[in-house]
Amino acid sequence: MNQLFSFEVAAKEGTARAGVFHTAHGPVLTPIYAPVGTQATVKAVTPQQLQEVGASLVLANTYHLYLRPSDAVIRSLGGLHAFMNWDGPILTDSGGFQVFSLAGRDGKQSLRRIDDDGVTFRSHLDGRRHRFTPEKVMQIQENLGADIVMVLDECAVPDDYDYLKRHALPRTHAWAERCKVAHHRSDQALFGIVQGGVYPDLRAASARHLVALDFPGYAIGGLSVGEGKHEMYTTLEATTPLLPEDRPRYLMGVGTPEDLVEGVARGVDIFDCVLPTRVARNGQALLRTDKYNMRNAQFAEDPVPIDATCGCYTCRNFSRAYVRHLLVAKEILGATLLTMHNLYTMLNLITDIRASIVEGRFEAFREAFWDARRESSSAEEGA
């Protein structure tokens, strides 16, 4: 393995880990939550604002950037870091999830077709036909130039055991092998993706195959796609012990406050999710213990911050009444202020989780987290 991407576990409590993953654009302190910048931007905020809320790792989307403006254009402009003016680590997914989610759109199966060599799909932008193979996806991600990149995998329906075993897993494993052969940039860490739905035996088979390929990190895919929380957590419990201790573990597309706490408890190091930014644009504020619809009339004359315990720019400077006014008036600043608050909430939470592991008090932190959520829920029911 390239020593540029070494990973050290600094502290453990049970299965929870605090570590450091080294990349070409600096160290990543884990556990970590990565804001999602699908189109080379985290919606509604600037790179400077991202730094101010505590972001260090950002995710961008291979599928979307391939279609627009194209990976070739981004490469000609110096790669993703220069293009989006972000000098910290960047992670790109393979685009596989987006391609596979095209199946069944509008009740049809015509937007993508999969075979053992790759996937043919039609752009959601203009309907033009494109082809993703493992080799093509590696070329795109090398052009984009992210620090952490993903193999092409098949993200299949999580409860179709027969299809997963006979088709999706063999393809995922064969494609991972091809991706490793096709990937050449020494300044990028290529992660394998463990699949297998909610079935422990399939997850174990996938983990064994990918670990044997000796990737510098491992993602856990195919979760938070329709299964319940209990199934997701049970699947994590069956999967993370099979992955190497000296490699980071990335839970793809998962990132509610409770998922961060429970994912870390089960050995996850890296998270990403569009939730904090997406719900901000819909007027929802996230707290560790609750969430508020800031468009509600109850906030129209409320002079206090969204969260009196929060240290974000929004809560230090503006009232709930002002944030609600911006949302009702459809002012762009409303989305920006809520996005900054929601990202700060998630990033501050993951920072506190890491500190609790380093200080040997993670289980106490976890218990206090759930006590606070139960108390908040009880107070809401009694209101």
pLDDT given at position 105 = 46
Pick from 43, 80, 81, 37: which is nearest to 60 by CA?
A: 37
Among 82-91, 254-263, 372-381, name the one with the lowest average pLDDT.
372-381
pLDDT of 91 over the 70 cut: yes
Among 234-248, 285-299, 368-382, name the one with the lowest average pLDDT.
368-382
Average pLDDT over residues 357-377: 96
Q: Which residues are catalytic?
A: 93, 272
Return the higher-pLDDT residue of 8 and 379. 8
Average pLDDT over residues 128-139: 96
- CA–CA distance from 127 to each of 67, 99, 100, 111, 112 (Å)? 11, 13, 15, 8, 11
HSE-CB at 40 with a 13 A cutoff on CA atoms is: 25
Return the higher-pLDDT residue of 344 and 228. 344
- CA–CA distance from 288 to each of 229, 270, 276, 370 (Å)? 17, 19, 12, 10
- For residue 383, tell me if it sits in a domain: no
Q: What percent of the chain has pLDDT over 90?
A: 89
Q: Are residues 188 and 288 in the same domain?
A: no
Q: Are residues 99 and 172 in the same domain?
A: yes
Rg of the Cα atoms in the chain: 21
* CATH number of the domain to which 145 belongs: 3.20.20.105
- For residue 382, tell me if it sits in a domain: no
Residue 112: pLDDT band (50, 70, 90) is confident
Strands (E), the chain: 7-13, 16-23, 26-30, 32-35, 58-60, 90-92, 112-115, 118-122, 129-132, 148-150, 189-194, 217-220, 249-251, 270-273, 284-286, 291-293
Q: Are residues 32 and 141 in the same domain?
A: yes
Q: Are residues 187 and 41 in the same domain?
A: yes
pLDDT given at position 272 = 98
Q: Are residues 39 and 94 in the same domain?
A: yes
- For residue 200, tell me if it sits in a domain: yes
Measured distance CA(351)–CA(215) in Å, rounded: 26
Q: Are residues 152 and 36 in the same domain?
A: yes
- For residue 381, tell me if it sits in a domain: no
Average pLDDT over residues 162-183: 97
Q: Are residues 272 and 343 in the same domain?
A: no
Last residue of a domain, one of 248, 279, 310: 279
pLDDT of 86 over the 70 cut: yes
pLDDT given at position 382 = 60
Among 101-110, 147-156, 259-268, name the one with the lowest average pLDDT.
101-110
Residue 1: pLDDT band (50, 70, 90) is low
Among 7-16, 185-194, 201-210, 371-380, name the one with the lowest average pLDDT.
371-380
Q: Are residues 146 and 228 in the same domain?
A: yes
pLDDT given at position 2 = 72
Return the higher-pLDDT residue of 375 and 96. 375
Convert the pLDDT of each residue in 21-59 to its tens digit: 999 999 999 999 999 999 999 999 999 999 999 999 999
Q: Are residues 220 and 256 in the same domain?
A: yes
- For residue 380, tell me if it sits in a domain: no
What is the span of the domain harbouring residue 266?
Answer: 3-279
Q: Are residues 28 and 62 in the same domain?
A: yes
Structure tokens at 376: 């908040």
Last residue of a domain, one of 246, 279, 312: 279
Average pLDDT over residues 64-79: 98
Average pLDDT over residues 327-334: 98
Among 94-103, 221-230, 315-324, 343-352, name the one with the lowest average pLDDT.
94-103
Q: Count of domains in the chain?
A: 2
pLDDT of 108 over the 60 cut: no
Residue 110: pLDDT band (50, 70, 90) is low
Last residue of a domain, one of 279, 297, 314: 279
Q: Are residues 201 and 315 in the same domain?
A: no
Average pLDDT value over all residues in the chain = 95
Among 27-41, 151-165, 229-243, name the one with the lowest average pLDDT.
151-165
Measured distance CA(145)–CA(91) in Å, rounded: 9
